[in-house]
């Protein structure tokens, strides 16, 4: 084997330039495929982390009819024993109750249909953490005057702030992003801008009877903290649901659609409003490992635990079929692109093989004539081809590794319209890479398959080799 390896290795460098070109083509294919796939999978992960882990959860426990008919009538009894039993299952990080319904919200002459999400403020912190979405800064006319009065800020910056009057922000980073200030401007003027636009807000306590109103809805209803909002709707089994609720806080939801219609309240307050004592519409479950395999395994485990056959566990992709299909479709189109890339590279490798066989036909004949078994010669050629693929593969993987690591820990920050659009959809405006996973190792499998497929040609030629003909060249 050592001798075969030696001959194969030296054969590889007989035509140094050709070997370098072929290896380089494999290198670039592996490098780009790995980076592209890592970004693609990283963005899906990011999307799932942001959207699924903060809204849907990896799994939800629901009434069997709730998915098709999301009414409060399709709620179920909530007690700690269910939660305790579910938490016993491996890989579960959090179990958070939700009671969701729709009502009309009214203040003065303003009325609007809204979505009500009732939460346990303590448990919810581990899940969507609405406290982090409380409005912390709001640029009002007064704030603008305050900024101007400080007399220190450049006119250009004042102009940028003026364009943002009426907007609210849940973090200073978001203001920085929106104002588009330079690093120098940030250092000089941001403390004053933040000071003048600071917004005093509140949150819900455990059994609070107050509500949190989303920023745009608060603007529509013309309510501020301390004002009251009347909610009117239909409760459990058709009872009338009416109540008046003080506004404890304003939250900023990046998605304008949700920001226009969301009210958050505590579960006891919602159960009282909807006359749904002890009921919830969903138990939202998040997992430590979000692979489909684990999600399916946990789903099966939970369903086996349930005594009430009217309740079932649903995965995030069952709850968001359109999003799941979009991710699948996008992933498949990415794979198709990589398939085309590898297909082209395969022909490059095959071209090298054709040349190699054509050049070495006589040599193959000599080797067999002097006593080298064909299977041994086949082994030499296979080793040579594997080495050719391995050089490009290993270099490609090694070159992509630091980039994947760097952009995993330091994702690209998206600015401008694309960044704003992503934030408006409720995602962090960043583009991270995915951690090393099957996609990384699959490159090795693909290259190996390509190389072995290309090797079939010389193996067949050697198998059919007739010494006399080969010796004639």
Partner 1 sequence: MKVLELKNVNKIYNSTEVKVHAVNDVTLQFEEAEFAAIVGPSGSGKTTLLNLIGGLDMPTSGEIIIGGTNLSRLKSSQLIDFRLNNIGFVFQSYNLIPVLTAKENVEFIMTLQKWPREERDERTYELLKAVGLGERINSRPSKLSGGQQQRVAVARALASRPKFVLADEPTANLDSKAATTLLEIMEKLNHDEKITFIFSTHDPRVVKMAHRVITLEDGKVVSDERKE
Torsion, Cα of 460, 464, 466, 469 (10° steps): -60
Q: What is the Cα–Cα distance from 286 to 282, expressed in whole angstroms?
A: 13
Considering beta carbons, is residue 167 or 374 the nearer one to partner 1? 374
- Token pair in block for residue 421: 């659009």
Whose tokens are 């968001």? That residue is 320
Which neighbouring-strand residues pair with 266? 119
Question: Running DSSP on this structure, what letter comes out for residue 458?
Answer: H
Q: Is 373 in the site for partner 1 (CB under 8 A)?
A: yes
Considering beta carbons, is residue 112 or 376 the nearer one to partner 1? 376
Strand residue runs (E) in 120-198? 137-138, 168-169
Q: Is 368 in the site for partner 1 (CB under 8 A)?
A: yes
Q: Is 460 in the site for partner 1 (CB under 8 A)?
A: no
Pick out residues in 375-394 that bind partner 1 (CB under 8 A): 375-376
Calculate ∠ Cα 29-35-41, nearest 5°: 125
CA separation, residue 161 to residues 4, 154, 177, 322 (Å) = 73, 11, 12, 38
Which of 51, 230, 372, 430 is close enough to bind partner 1 by CB under 8 A?
A: 372
Other Cβ atoms less than 10 A from the Cβ of 69: the count is 9
Q: Is 212 in the site for partner 1 (CB under 8 A)?
A: no
Q: Which residues contact 158 (CB under 8 A, 6 or more apart)?
A: 144, 147, 148
Whose tokens are 């004949």? That residue is 365
What's the min distance (Å) between Cβ of 298 and partner 1? 57
Q: Is 10 in the site for partner 1 (CB under 8 A)?
A: yes
What's the min distance (Å) between Cβ of 427 and partner 1? 56
Q: What is the Cα–Cα distance from 386 to 397, expressed in whole angstroms?
A: 16
Which of 362, 418, 421, 441 is close enough to bind partner 1 by CB under 8 A?
A: 362
Considering beta carbons, is residue 15 or 111 the nearer one to partner 1? 15
Whose tokens are 């056959």? That residue is 309
Contacting range for partner 1; rule: CB under 8 A; set: 9-17, 188-196, 224-232, 280-288: 9-17
Site string for partner 1, 146-185 (x = CB under 8 A): ----------------------------------------
Contacting range for partner 1; rule: CB under 8 A; set: 4-12, 84-92, 172-180, 223-231: 4-12
Which of 21, 239, 336, 366 is close enough to bind partner 1 by CB under 8 A?
A: 366
What's the min distance (Å) between Cβ of 369 and partner 1? 6
Considering beta carbons, is residue 200 or 358 the nearer one to partner 1? 358
């Amino acid at each position: 084997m050592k001798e075969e390896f030696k001959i194969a290795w030296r054969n590889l460098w007989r035509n140094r330039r050709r070997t370098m070109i072929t290896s380089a083509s494999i290198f670039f294919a592996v490098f780009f495929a790995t980076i592209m796939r890592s970004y693609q999978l990283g963005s899906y992960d990011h999307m799932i982390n942001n959207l699924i882990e903060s809204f849907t959860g990896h799994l939800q426990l629901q009434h069997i009819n709730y998915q098709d008919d999301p009414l409060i009538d399709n709620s179920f009894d909530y007690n700690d024993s269910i939660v305790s039993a579910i938490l016993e299952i491996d890989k579960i990080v959090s179990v958070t109750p939700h009671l969701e319904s729709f009502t009309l919200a009214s203040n003065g002459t303003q009325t609007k249909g809204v979505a009500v999400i009732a939460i346990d403020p303590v448990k919810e912190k581990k899940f969507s953490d609405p406290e982090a979405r409380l409005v912390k800064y709001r640029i009002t006319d007064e704030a603008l005057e305050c900024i101007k009065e400080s007399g220190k800020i450049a006119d250009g910056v004042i102009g940028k702030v003026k364009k943002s009057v009426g907007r609210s922000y849940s973090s200073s980073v978001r203001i920085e992003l929106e104002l588009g200030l330079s690093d120098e401007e940030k250092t000089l003027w941001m403390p004053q801008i933040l000071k003048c636009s600071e917004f005093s807000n509140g949150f819900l306590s455990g059994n609070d009877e107050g509500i949190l109103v989303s920023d745009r809805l608060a603007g529509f209803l013309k309510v501020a903290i301390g004002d009251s909002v009347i909610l009117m709707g239909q409760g459990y089994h058709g009872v009338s649901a009416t109540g008046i609720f003080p506004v404890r806080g304003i939250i900023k939801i990046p998605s304008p659609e949700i920001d226009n219609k969301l009210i958050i309240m505590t579960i006891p307050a919602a159960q009282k409003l909807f006359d749904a004592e002890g009921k919830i519409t969903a138990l939202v479950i998040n997992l430590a490992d979000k692979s489909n395999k684990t999600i399916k395994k946990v789903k099966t485990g939970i369903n086996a635990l349930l005594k009430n056959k009217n309740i079932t566990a649903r995965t995030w992709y069952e709850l968001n079929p359109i999003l799941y299909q979009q991710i699948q479709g996008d992933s498949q189109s990415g794979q198709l692109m990589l398939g085309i890339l590898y297909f082209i590279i395969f022909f490059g490798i095959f071209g090298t093989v054709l040349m190699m066989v054509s050049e070495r036909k006589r040599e193959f004949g000599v080797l067999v004539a002097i006593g080298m078994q064909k299977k041994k010669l086949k082994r030499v050629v296979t080793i040579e081809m594997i080495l050719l693929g391995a050089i490009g593969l290993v270099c490609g993987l090694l070159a992509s590794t630091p980039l994947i690591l760097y952009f995993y820990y330091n994702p690209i920050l998206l600015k401008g319209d694309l960044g704003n659009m992503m934030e408006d959809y409720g995602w962090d405006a960043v583009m991270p890479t995915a951690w090393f996973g099957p996609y990384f190792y699959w490159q090795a499998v693909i290259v190996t398959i390509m190389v072995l497929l290309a090797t079939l040609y010389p193996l067949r030629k050697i198998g059919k080799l007739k010494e006399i003909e080969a010796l004639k060249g």
